[in-house]
Amino acid sequence: MSFWQENNEILKRAEQEFGVPAQVIVAIIGVETRYGSNKGNYRVMDALITLGFDYPPRAKFFRRELKQFFLLVREQKQNPLSLMGSYAGAMGYGQFIPSSYRAYAIDYTNDDFVDIWNNPADAIGSVANYFKLHGWQSGQDVVVRSHIKDGYNKSLLNDGLKPKHTVKQLLAQGFVPVTELADQSANVMYLQGQHGAEFWMGLNNFYVITRYNRSRLYAMAVWQLGQEIAKARQGV
Distance (Å, whole) CA 85 – CA 89: 5
Candidate list 32, 65, 75, 180, residue with the active-site label: 32
DSSP-derived secondary structure for 71-86: HHHHHHT--TTT-EE-
Helix, strand or coil for residue 225?
helix
Q: Answer yes or no: are the C-beta atoms of 91 and 101 closer than 8 Å.
A: yes
Helices (H), 22-166: 22-33, 44-54, 59-76, 98-104, 120-133
Clarify whether 15 is annotated catalytic: no
Alpha carbons within 13 A on the beta-carbon side of 6: 10
CA-based nearest residue to 72, from 109, 126, 142: 126
Q: Which long-range contacts (CB under 8 A, 24 or more apart) does 168-174 make?
A: 170/201, 174/148, 174/149, 174/150
CA-based nearest residue to 224, from 144, 137, 124, 128: 144
- Main-chain phi, psi angles of 125, to 5 degrees: -60, -35
Provide the 10 A C-beta neighbour count for residue 164.
12
Residues classed as catalytic: 32
